[in-house]
């Protein structure tokens, strides 16, 4: 029976793949993948000999959205032949993976069963490597380009995570890892609305291959535009100091907590 399962391979080759995802990838009639390093691609082909990469869907200088539609069609096509399909992506398949979203929409529209398995995202790696608890003092998350193009207010006393900051403003596919420097400068200027020039930010890139460590670059906001970065860098902006506690509400909450439970 035709079925599409969207999965994430995390990072570090097979090290962050869940047992459930491993089983689905190995048993699929068709395994298609889009990953960030050749070693992971090699491992996937060893796991499922029929596995093939979607990377050749890109065309230099072409809008990435066109490539995403091309990938989605390649993912859905085997379903029409009655085959089970697994599409695997680096990180988490629900986090800024346009081909996965398009393929799921198209497959459902044609009446096929679609499911997605949870995976480790670059943000999960960031929390672990920087030692951050995202619940305290909270965090807000945006795609960096969308953050600039659709201005919005947010609580700067929560941590700010901007995905694909190194590719901010880029639409056309290009090889290489050089970030969009002008995009980073515009991003830094925009963030000055909430933060001082000396405020610390982190450019982060998950380590893809063991034993290599992740890339963690700490700079001031004023230096962001020229800081070491790559096209896949995530930007972490430390939170501003928290505001005062609402003492009246705190008193009410303490009154409802059973003795010894606090």
Same fold? 3-116, 122-237: no
Of 103, 96, 119, the closest CA to residue 15 belongs to: 119
pLDDT (0 to 100) of residue 260:
55
Tell me the three state secondary structure of residue 205: strand
pLDDT (0 to 100) of residue 258:
64
CB atoms within 10 A of CB 187: 23
Tell me the three state secondary structure of residue 138: coil
**Percent with pLDDT over 70 in the chain:** 98
What topology is assigned to 122-237 in CATH? 3.30.950
- Kindly report, residue by residue over 150-161, the tens digit of the pLDDT: 988 899 999 999
42 with 125: CB under 8 angstroms?
Answer: no
Of 232, 131, 169, 152, the closest CA to residue 141 belongs to: 152
pLDDT (0 to 100) of residue 213:
86
Is pLDDT of 259 > 80? Answer: no
For residues 143 and 101, what is the distance between their CA atoms, to the nearest angstrom? 15
Per-domain residue ranges for the chain?
3-116, 122-237
Element spanning 53, H or E: strand 52-53
Torsion of CA 179, 185, 188, 193, to 10 degrees: -150
Of 123, 120, 118, 85, the closest CA to residue 104 belongs to: 85
> Which of the pair, 171 or 5, is modelled with greater confidence?
5
Confidence of residue 3 (pLDDT cuts 50, 70, 90): very high
What topology is assigned to 3-116 in CATH? Cobalt-precorrin-4 Transmethylase; domain 1 (3.40.1010)
Tell me the three state secondary structure of residue 8: strand
Confidence of residue 174 (pLDDT cuts 50, 70, 90): confident
- Kindly report, residue by residue over 76-95, the tens digit of the pLDDT: 999 999 999 999 999 999 99
Q: What is the mean pLDDT of the segment spanning 42-54?
A: 96
> Which of the pair, 172 or 260, is modelled with greater confidence?
172
CB burial class (10 A; 0-12, 13-18, 19+) of residue 166? buried
- Kindly report, residue by residue over 204-251, the tens digit of the pLDDT: 999 888 777 899 999 999 999 999 999 999 999 999 998 888 999 988
């Amino acid at each position: 029976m035709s079925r599409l399962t969207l999965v994430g391979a995390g990072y570090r080759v097979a090290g962050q793949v869940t047992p459930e995802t491993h089983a689905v990838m190995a048993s699929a009639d068709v395994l298609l993948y889009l990953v960030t390093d050749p070693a992971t691609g090699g491992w996937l082909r060893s796991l499922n000999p029929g596995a093939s990469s979607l990377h050749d869907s890109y065309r230099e200088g072409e809008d990435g959205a066109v490539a995403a539609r091309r990938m989605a069609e390649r993912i859905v096509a085997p379903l029409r032949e009655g085959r089970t399909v697994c599409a695997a992506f680096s990180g988490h398949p629900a986090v800024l993976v346009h081909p996965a979203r398009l393929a799921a929409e198209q497959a459902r529209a044609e009446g096929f069963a679609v499911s997605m398995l949870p995976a480790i995202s670059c943000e999960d790696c960031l929390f672990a490597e920087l030692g951050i608890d995202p619940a305290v003092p909270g965090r807000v998350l945006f795609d960096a380009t969308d953050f600039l193009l659709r201005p919005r207010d947010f609580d700067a006393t929560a941590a700010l995570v901007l995905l694909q900051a190194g590719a901010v403003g880029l639409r056309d596919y290009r090889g290489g890892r050089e970030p969009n420097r002008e995009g980073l400068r515009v991003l830094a200027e925009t963030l000055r609305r909430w933060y001082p020039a000396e405020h610390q930010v982190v450019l982060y890139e998950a380590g893809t291959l063991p034993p290599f460590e992740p890339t963690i670059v700490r700079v001031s906001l004023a230096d962001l535009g020229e800081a070491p970065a790559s096209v896949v860098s995530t930007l972490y902006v430390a939170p501003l100091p928290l505001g005062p506690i609402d003492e009246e509400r705190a008193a009410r909450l303490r009154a409802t907590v059973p003795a010894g439970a606090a």
